[in-house]
């Protein structure tokens, strides 16, 4: 039997084993979200559908996607959670978003947790009055430039009109105050929250300030959240190239810069799932073209930098970019060549939200590790199969909970010259608004699973015995109790940065330490070493 046949048999064994314990209807549904990858075939994966109750998903909620992901990393907007304290507290600093205020006096509210702390009486009699009081109190203490209000589940259930309250407070205080109907149940996952956040930032923030950031060539970086300092690494490269970064959505970001994001020459999308909406809307309204980039992995970083330089057709920037790559790649190669002595041939699995389960495969491939399985928590089909499938995706009832904005060209601020340049570059073969998706870039015979359950994770580990499992905090300790190290790629544990060239080196070294230690194989769960306790319960009948 050939190695490929053995691998196919193992995948089939895993699939049968994982699905066999589910009830019939559940197994039928889950089978559509578990595929054996084949880049040569037009495989269709089931994604962005409701999680089956009781399956123990790793997903987050709509509120988490809106407040925690998109707005949370922005330092100078005061993010106020309207709801009981639990949601506001749980979403406070959990992703290790970092920021660098421009001066010591610059506003930075990331270290604060703001909440209306709704109590029982507010649930019964309504919380609008308390929300208004909270907004005024926050303004009197902190004097923020903007306030964003986020609805949690009880708010939607009792019918508080956060948008009306925000409008009244804005008129009274004279600052930009906007609300998000991002109740946790509003979508099937945090992806709905991303979409809701994109819509409101587009309508209430982008376009407020028409003064461009000084610079010959200006760009926005969309979908980079500065986990562990990633954005700092990327920003330094842009500065050395001679590119001006107008705004990032949302790592190390400022609400002031978001307001003038529409003045940039080019949008670059890193996390396709969380931010592609605003990229498309900015192009329709202001004419700003967008491209897909990836700064995870040394090779991908080099390609993305050259793609940016090629867009601007400036010999000086192209020369500077080539010099950066020629300087950095030998450093990276020296480290990865050493690391490969430990990592070569070891197996990895990645089940992370956004584009991380895709992007981080580049780093593992550079270490010559084998990706045996990967998937997203909250992706749509286009994240797996590429944007070419967008016309085929049917809008279901859950997706209709999210407002679809009708966007037209701004009669005064639409810049036709940006589109003229796009047409010229396309004629040269340059790719815009293009994303091939994860599955076409994964090897044949790998396992792809959307919205993986705890049970399926256990079965994967049992059948494939990976050297490292990459996921989030909810899975971390359950996986490690199975004797497999888990590397968090939502918050990086306490590591990072992992973006760009220096970030790649950091990642190589961290993974080498993880897969090179024998401690994980020595871990035994208590029930493996101790006798099983058996008891009986008797009920005396009267």
**DSSP 8-state code for residue 102:** S
- Cα–Cα distance measured from residue 112 to residue 106, given in angstroms and rounded to the nearest whole number: 15
Pull the structure tokens for residue 370. Answer: 């084998």
Tokens 């090629």 belong to which residue?
A: 310
In the residue annotation, 490 being an active-site residue is answered as no
Phi-psi region of 332 (alpha: psi -120 to 50; beta: other; left: phi over 0): alpha
The length of the chain is 542
Give the SS3 label for residue 246: strand
**DSSP 8-state code for residue 67:** I
In the residue annotation, 262 being an active-site residue is answered as no
Q: Which of 75, 82, 194, 490 is catalytic?
A: 194
In the residue annotation, 64 being an active-site residue is answered as yes
Phi-psi region of 245 (alpha: psi -120 to 50; beta: other; left: phi over 0): beta
Any bridge partners for residue 147, and if so which?
78, 177
Give per-residue burial for 18-33: e unless 16+ CB within 10 Å, then b: bbeebeeebeebbeeb
Q: Which of 18, 47, 59, 64 is catalytic?
A: 64
Pull the structure tokens for residue 214. Answer: 């000084």
Residue 407, Cβ neighbours under 10 Å: how many?
15
Full strand arrangement of the beta sheet holding 77-82: 114-115, 77-82, 146-151, 176-180
Pull the structure tokens for residue 182. Answer: 């991002």
Residue 301, Cβ neighbours under 10 Å: how many?
27
Beta strands, E only, 97-142: 114-115
- Cα–Cα distance measured from residue 289 to residue 268, given in angstroms and rounded to the nearest whole number: 9
Q: Which of 30, 59, 82, 95 is catalytic?
A: 95
Which residues fall within 8 angstroms of residue 341, CB to CB, at 6 or more apart? none
Q: Which of 61, 182, 373, 500 is catalytic?
A: 61
Q: Within 397-465, where are the H helices? A: 416-427, 454-464
Residues serving a catalytic function are 61, 64, 95, 194
């Amino acid at each position: 039997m050939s190695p490929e046949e053995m691998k196919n048999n193992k995948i089939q064994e895993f699939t049968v084993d994982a699905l066999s314990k589910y009830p019939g209807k559940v197994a039928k549904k889950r089978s559509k979200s578990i595929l054996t990858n084949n880049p040569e075939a037009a495989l269709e994966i089931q994604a962005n559908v409701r999680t089956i109750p009781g399956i123990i998903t790793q997903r987050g909620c709509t509120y988490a996607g809106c407040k925690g992901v998109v707005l949370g990393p922005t330092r100078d907007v005061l993010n106020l959670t309207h709801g009981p304290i639990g949601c506001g507290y749980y979403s406070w600093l959990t992703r290790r978003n970092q920021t660098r205020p421009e001066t010591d006096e610059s506003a930075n509210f990331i270290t604060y947790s703001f909440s209306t702390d709704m109590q029982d009486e507010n649930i019964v009699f309504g919380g609008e009055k308390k929300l208004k009081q909270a907004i005024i109190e926050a303004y009197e203490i902190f004097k923020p430039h903007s306030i964003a209000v986020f609805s949690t589940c009880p708010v939607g259930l009792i019918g508080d009109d956060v948008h009306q309250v925000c409008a009244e407070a804005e008129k009274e205080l004279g600052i930009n105050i906007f609300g998000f109907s991002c109740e946790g149940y509003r979508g099937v996952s945090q992806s709905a929250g991303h979409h809701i956040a994109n819509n409101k930032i587009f309508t209430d923030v982008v376009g407020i300030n028409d003064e461009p950031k000084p610079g010959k060539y200006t760009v926005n970086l969309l979908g980079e959240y500065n986990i562990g300092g990633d954005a700092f690494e990327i920003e330094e490269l842009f500065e050395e190239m001679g590119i001006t970064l107008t705004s990032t959505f949302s790592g190390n970001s400022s609400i002031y810069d978001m307001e003038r994001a529409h003045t940039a020459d080019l949008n670059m999308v890193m996390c396709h799932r969380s931010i592609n909406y605003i990229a498309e809307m900015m192009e329709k309204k202001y004419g700003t073209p967008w491209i897909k980039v990836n700064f995870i992995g040394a090779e991908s970083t080099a390609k993305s930098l050259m793609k940016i330089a090629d867009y601007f057709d400036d010999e000086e920037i192209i020369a500077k970019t080539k010099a950066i790559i020629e300087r950095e790649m030998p450093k990276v190669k020296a480290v990865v060549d050493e690391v490969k002595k430990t990592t070569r041939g070891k197996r990895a699995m990645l089940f992370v939200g956004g584009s991380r389960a895709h992007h981080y495969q580049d780093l593992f491939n550079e270490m010559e590790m084998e990706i045996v399985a990967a998937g997203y928590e909250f992706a749509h089909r286009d994240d797996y199969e590429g944007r070419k499938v967008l016309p085929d995706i049917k809008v279901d009832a859950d997706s209709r909970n999210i407002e679809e904005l009708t966007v037209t060209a701004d009669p005064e601020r639409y810049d036709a010259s940006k589109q003229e340049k796009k047409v010229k570059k396309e004629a040269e073969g340059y790719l815009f608004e293009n994303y091939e998706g994860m599955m076409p870039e994964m090897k044949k015979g790998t396992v792809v699973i959307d919205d993986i359950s705890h049970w399926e994770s256990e079965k994967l580990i049992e059948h494939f015995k990976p050297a490292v499992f990459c996921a989030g905090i909810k899975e971390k300790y359950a996986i490690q109790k199975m004797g497999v190290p888990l590397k968090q790629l939502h918050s990086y544990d306490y590591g990072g940065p992992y973006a760009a060239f220096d970030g790649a080196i950091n990642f190589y070294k961290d993974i080498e330490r993880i897969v090179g230690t024998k401690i994980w194989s020595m871990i035994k769960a208590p029930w493996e070493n101790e006798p099983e306790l058996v008891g009986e319960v008797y009920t005396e009948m009267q």
